Amino acid sequence: MAERITKNMARNIYFGGSLFAILLFAGLTMDTVQKVPELSNDVQITEAVASGKNLWEVNNCVGCHTIMGEGAYYAPELANVFDRRGQANEEYFKSYLQAWMAAQPLPNNGRRKMPQFNLTEQQVNDLADFLIWTSRIDDNDWPPNIEG
Amino acid sequence: MKYSSQMVAKPYFIFALILLAGEILFGLILGLQYINGDFLFPEIPFNVARMVHTNLLIVLILFGFMGAAYYLVPEESERELWSPLLAKITFWVFAAAGVATILGYLFVPYSTLAEVTYNNLFPTMGREFLEQPTITKIGIVLVVLSFILNIGMTVLKGRKTVITVVLLTGLVGMAVFFLFAFYLPENLVLDKFFWWFVIHLWVEGVWELILGAILSFVLIKVTGVDREHIDKWLYLIIAMTLVSGIVGTGHHYFYIGTPSYWLWIGSIASAVEPLPFFLMVLYAFTMAKQRRIDHDNKIALTWAKGTAVISFLGAGVWGFMHTLAPVNYFTHGTQLTAAHGHLAFFGAYIMILFTIISYAMPIMRGRAHGNGPKAQAVERASFWLMVIGMLGVTLALTAAGIGQIMMQRWPDTEALSFMATQAELIPIYKVRFAFGLMVFTGLLTYLYSFFVKENTTVNA
């Protein structure tokens, strides 16, 4: 195969192919950026949700957990933790998360440990709001079941 | 060695190997934490060890790329490096910034690190692989720009070859896409969407250009094959890389809140992604078969062939396994992802560094024909220890991933919880750890090969 292709042909395939790919990808990117606000309920991003996302970041939660399948694979998926633990009730979920965060690290021998992050009550509520917002993103019905 | 300024590559290579030892060591710590959650807790929590593991990987690859460029560009351009002094300064700045950041991860709680580096003024922290404080990210940009300036000026003022132009394209692309690391929108979906512009377009895009250029340089040197021939292959490989890899970013846009047309586009484009790696296997073996010289540095050619084969397996085969959307629905974010990541990074980006280091280091140490037979024999043992070790790690993680899917993802009712599933997988994690130890042994053997003394007395 390679014998019939000259160096000039190969170079043209490289330039032409790359240009095509870049233009196609740029077009799809523009379309995606326009559609994401609706798919993610952008209008629901309150100050609390934004603050919760910041807490998620500055405590490096993604260093152990996944969120929509991305992150580390050491601790449970959290994009659907509201569906899994919240009993469809935001207030219930917040009190659950308050108790859960306060109890860390759990004393169980050998179990994977979550550090104590010493978050305030307000901060845990913000984190809960962020996770509740995340659980409502239209992500093509992922994950397959409630266990994440 | 034709130009004295090529010597600036040496500290880059040495430092990359030291960082690699650290990277594997932290990998072993993580492997033990998978077996026993109490290991090193609370001194080094999992997330901290993982940051150190992945950030060391990225930084060591950058050091390796820089060393490779400083070594090969003067020789290709047929002139001295534009500024050897700048290359030396860049080395120390990058090394100091890298070490300071890693020590920051280890000794300061991450939220404190964010606070003292004013992350609130310009938030960029807290995303996978981009955990570095904003100030470190700015430092990386400055270091990379000064590196590209140095390489770019050398290329522009000297003979231009396909290898140097492709290399430079890859380096500029790397700098451009890193700028997305500074964009952190409030919307998690947009955040993830553009995060992949750094991660995917690096490792499955522009880095492959750099990989192709380094591989081509070594192949020319150790096989003596005609440059026209090499150039043609290189163009074909990188054409396939970019055609499949750029739109192939879509295989990350299945389940993160992006439009559903990505399910089709991402699947189709990324299904082609193994092709450039397959071409690379044909390339390395065809060049070796058609070689015109029998270079004494045989181990460098072994590494070159190994790079092609293992990157094809790791990136190509293990990537294809879970790249189609209906399959990815079940594999997304499982240990299968980790299996693919480990073999792909090792095969493509660690083995290419061993390739260039094993070719260039003996020359920089005054052995134009490569190390002696004894040192090469030790190095060959290290090659197999590391390759078999990484294959073992990958197979173990694959088994863990399949187990995870069967127990936790697949069942509609009575699926096991994440934590219960992980407890079931501990025996497999023990196997993974054992193969990890083998990889580390392999690296130590590799490092030892630098110190092997040759018998200069003639045996009867």
From first to last of its 460 residues, what are the pLDDT tens digits of chain B?
899 999 999 999 999 999 999 999 999 999 999 999 999 999 999 999 999 999 999 999 999 999 999 999 999 999 999 999 999 999 999 999 999 999 999 999 999 999 999 999 999 999 999 999 999 999 999 999 999 999 999 999 999 999 999 999 999 999 999 999 999 999 999 999 999 999 999 999 999 999 999 999 999 999 999 999 999 999 999 999 999 999 999 999 999 999 999 999 999 999 999 999 999 999 999 999 999 999 999 999 999 999 999 999 999 999 999 999 999 999 999 999 999 999 999 999 999 999 999 999 999 999 999 999 999 999 999 999 999 999 999 999 999 999 999 999 999 989 999 999 999 999 999 999 999 999 999 999 999 999 998 876 544 4
Confidence at residue A1, expressed as pLDDT on a 0 to 100 scale: 55
Contact B337, B322 (CB under 8 A): yes
Question: Cα–Cα distance between B233 and B224 in angstroms, integer?
Answer: 15
How many domains does chain B fold into?
A: 1
CA–CA distances in Å: residue B194 to residues A26, A33, A61, B190, B372: 12, 10, 19, 6, 49
Does residue B430 form part of some domain?
no
CA–CA distances in Å: residue B186 to residues A42, B171, B239: 9, 30, 36
Question: Cα–Cα distance between A131 and A96 in angstroms, integer?
Answer: 13
Structure tokens that stand for B247 in this block: 């739109």
Query: Tell me: the pLDDT tens digits for A13-27?
Result: 999 999 999 999 999
Confidence at residue B460, expressed as pLDDT on a 0 to 100 scale: 43
Does residue B35 form part of some domain?
yes
3-class DSSP assignment, residue B435 = helix
Does residue B386 form part of some domain?
no
Does residue B294 form part of some domain?
no
Given CA atoms B202, B94, B449, B291 in this order, what sign does their dihedral have?
Answer: positive
CB contact under 8 A, B188 and A134: yes
Question: Cα–Cα distance between A74 and A88 in angstroms, integer?
Answer: 26
Enumerate residues 6+ apart whose C-beta is below 8 A from A123.
Answer: A51, A55
Does residue B353 form part of some domain?
no
Helix residue spans in chain A (DSSP H):
7-39, 47-58, 81-85, 90-102, 121-135
* Structural domain range at position B147: 1-160
CB contact under 8 A, A58 and B228: no
Q: Answer whether 0.95 is exceeded by the pTM.
A: yes
Identify the band that residue A2 occupies on the pLDDT scale cut at 50, 70 and 90. Answer: low
Question: Cα–Cα distance between A21 and A23 in angstroms, integer?
Answer: 6
Contact B227, B161 (CB under 8 A): yes
Confidence at residue B457, expressed as pLDDT on a 0 to 100 scale: 53
Query: Tell me: the pLDDT tens digits for A45-81?
Result: 999 999 999 999 999 999 999 999 999 999 999 999 9
Query: What does chain A come to in residues?
Result: 148
Confidence at residue A120, expressed as pLDDT on a 0 to 100 scale: 98
Query: B342's torsion region: left (phi>0), alpha (psi -120 to 50) or beta?
Result: alpha
Distance from CA of A91 to the nearest CA of B (A): 23
Does residue B75 form part of some domain?
yes
Confidence at residue B455, expressed as pLDDT on a 0 to 100 scale: 74
Distance from CA of A2 to the nearest CA of B (A): 8
Which of B119, B184, B235 has the CB atom closest to A11's CB atom? Answer: B235
Does residue B210 form part of some domain?
no
Enumerate residues 6+ apart whose C-beta is below 8 A from B141.
Answer: B175, B178, B179
Query: Tell me: the pLDDT tens digits for A92-136?
Result: 999 999 999 999 999 999 999 999 999 999 999 999 999 999 999
Distance from CA of B51 to the nearest CA of A (A): 7
Question: Cα–Cα distance between A113 and B16 in angstroms, integer?
Answer: 32
Does residue B19 form part of some domain?
yes
Kindly list the residues from chain A whose CB atom is less than 8 angstroms away from the CB atom of residue B246: 18, 21-22, 24-25
